[in-house]
């Protein structure tokens, strides 16, 4: 009798497996966006821990339970909301802008990148001194990925005017963009403005600025043996 019971149980198990083995759970790519009240409750007073917990969840979204999700399948308007929401927990940390700029901006669907750019630009404009690096990444996304040179110039102008110490190449990005557009006179004005308003520029940087004016822009009429950039800019 027991063998009959075992046979029936095994048969039912095989029948159940046959009908259900192709059924998979309907897992969403991205976690549900919590409200600010829900975040305040779930953080239990430790915003930093919860910020990193949610950031890691967002980073791993779509790639759990044996899945591998291409970036083009993500909901980028929803991602934008995630970025801004997580910034409300810590607006100084660089974890989320790094995730946005270096990972989610690589979407195979180029229009998605606009949402990453919107986030990085809005965050950076609130505190450009602290976020100058994300301004430079925004310029790259606007110019090289989305092909929006006018928007890239607007961001580059903001970057040029930050009041903290940044590399010379960052202050000159607007000039490079205007060079691409054939706006040589405006590019020269930017280079000369940087040379005039910032002290202790390294000699190699000055040499590049002179090279840029003479060889790339070709806006210098005469040769200057002493390599005095103020003299060149006065032309």
- pLDDT > 70? residue 222: no
- Pair 162, 128: CB distance under 8 Å: yes
Average confidence (pLDDT) over 58-68: 85
Q: What is the mean pLDDT of residues 39-45?
A: 89
137 or 63, which is more confident? 137
Mean pLDDT of 24-48: 85
Contact 55, 96 (CB under 8 A): yes
Q: What percent of the chain has pLDDT over 90?
A: 64
Q: How many CB atoms lie within 10 A of CB 114?
A: 18
Structure token digits, residue 111? 């229009």
Q: Is the pLDDT of residue 32 over 90?
A: no
pLDDT at 227 (0 to 100): 65
User: Which is more confident, 29 or 24?
Assistant: 29
Lowest-confidence region among 11-20, 63-72, 221-230: 221-230
For residue 156, give the H/E element and its range: helix 149-160
What is the model's pTM? 0.83
Average pLDDT (79-95) is: 95
Please list, in sequence order, all residues whose beta carbon lies within 8 angstroms of the beta carbon of residue 204, skipping any fewer than 6 positions away. Answer: none
Task: Check if the beta carbon of residue 112 is closer than 8 Å to that of residue 78.
Answer: no
Q: What is the DSSP string of 131-193?
A: THHHHHHHHHIIIIIS--HHHHHHHHHHHHT-SS---HHHHTHHHHHHHHTT-HHHHHHHHHH
* More confidently predicted of 121 and 219: 121
Q: Calculate Rg over the CA atoms of the chain.
A: 27
Q: What's the pLDDT score for residue 209?
A: 92
CA distance 229 to 224: 9
> Mean pLDDT in the chain?
90
Q: Are 72 and 27 in contact (CB under 8 A)?
A: no
Distance between CA atoms of residues 101 and 3, nearest Å: 63
| Residue 229 near residue 206 (C-beta atoms within 8 A) | yes
Q: In Å, what is the CA distance from 162 to each residue of 105, 156, 165, 189? A: 25, 10, 8, 17
Question: What per-residue confidence (pLDDT) applies to 189?
Answer: 94
Residue 39 — very low, low, confident or very high, per pLDDT cuts 50/70/90?
Answer: confident
Check whether 224 has a pLDDT greater than 60: no
Residue with tokens 């929006």, as numbered in its chain: 148
Q: How large is the average pLDDT for residues 44-63?
A: 91
């Amino acid at each position: 009798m027991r063998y009959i019971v075992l046979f029936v149980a095994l048969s039912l198990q095989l029948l159940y497996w046959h009908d259900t083995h192709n059924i998979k759970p309907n897992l969403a790519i991205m976690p549900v966006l919590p409200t600010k009240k829900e975040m305040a409750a779930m953080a239990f007073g430790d915003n930093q821990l919860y910020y990193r917990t949610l950031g890691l969840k967002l980073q791993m979204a779509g790639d759990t339970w044996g899945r591998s999700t291409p970036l083009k399948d993500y909901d980028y308007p929803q991602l934008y909301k995630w970025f801004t929401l997580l910034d409300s927990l810590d607006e100084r940390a660089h974890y989320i802008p790094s995730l946005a700029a270096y990972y989610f901006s690589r979407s195979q669907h180029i229009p998605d990148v606009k949402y990453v750019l919107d986030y990085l630009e809005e965050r950076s404009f609130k505190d450009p001194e602290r976020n100058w690096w994300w301004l430079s990444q925004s310029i790259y996304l606007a110019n090289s990925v989305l092909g929006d040179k006018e928007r890239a110039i607007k961001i580059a102008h903001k970057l040029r005017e930050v009041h903290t110490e940044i590399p010379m190449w960052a202050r000159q990005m607007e000039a490079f963009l205007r060079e691409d557009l054939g706006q040589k006179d405006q590019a020269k004005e930017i280079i000369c403005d940087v040379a005039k308003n910032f002290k202790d520029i390294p000699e190699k940087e000055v040499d590049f600025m002179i090279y840029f004016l003479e060889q790339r822009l070709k806006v210098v009429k005469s040769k200057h043996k002493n390599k005095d950039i103020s003299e060149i800019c006065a032309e």
